[in-house]
Amino acid sequence: MSNTAIKQLIEEFASKDRMGNYFLENATEQFLFIRPSGNPIDAVGFGKMFSTGDLTIQSSELVKIHRLDVFDHVAFAVFTMKGLFTYQGQTNDDSYAISAFFRNIDGTWKFDCLQRSSGTTDLTSWD
């Protein structure tokens, strides 16, 4: 059951249709998204990137979940996504790896920390 709930969170996050406020409802209070620049942003800041128009997503898809380890109240996943998006006027067409930590808060799995790689991910490195 835990794997299913976490996979659903990952699939929702990977969707082009996710709202900018996705992490306000699906992340812990201490959530941080560590961007490719290395600069972390919290759930509120992530939402603002969408509302200000700094970030627009043309396409987004989950390529593969490479690893998903679930423990009592924490879990760890690594997955690859492909996305076409514009950030502050610059178009990006990337495939990238994400490392994600999850916490189970009162029976509900939530993102706790997310780190996105930069550039293009070589999928053969996961074989």
CATH top-level class of 2-122: alpha beta
Mean pLDDT value across residues 14-37: 90
Instruction: For residue 111, give the nearest of 1, 18, 2, 29 by alpha carbon.
Output: 29
In this structure, which amino acid lies at residue 55?
L
**pLDDT band, residue 119 (cuts 50/70/90):** low
Q: Which of 62, 66, 60 is nearest to 124 (CA)?
A: 66
- The span from the CA of 90 to the CA of 55, in Å, is 9
12 pLDDT more than 90 = yes
d(CA 111, CA 125) in angstroms, rounded, equals 25
Q: What does the alpha-carbon distance between residue 24 and residue 46 come to, in Å, rounded to a whole number?
A: 9
pTM exceeds 0.85, yes or no: yes
Q: What is the pLDDT of residue 88?
A: 85
CB 80 within 8 A of CB 87: no
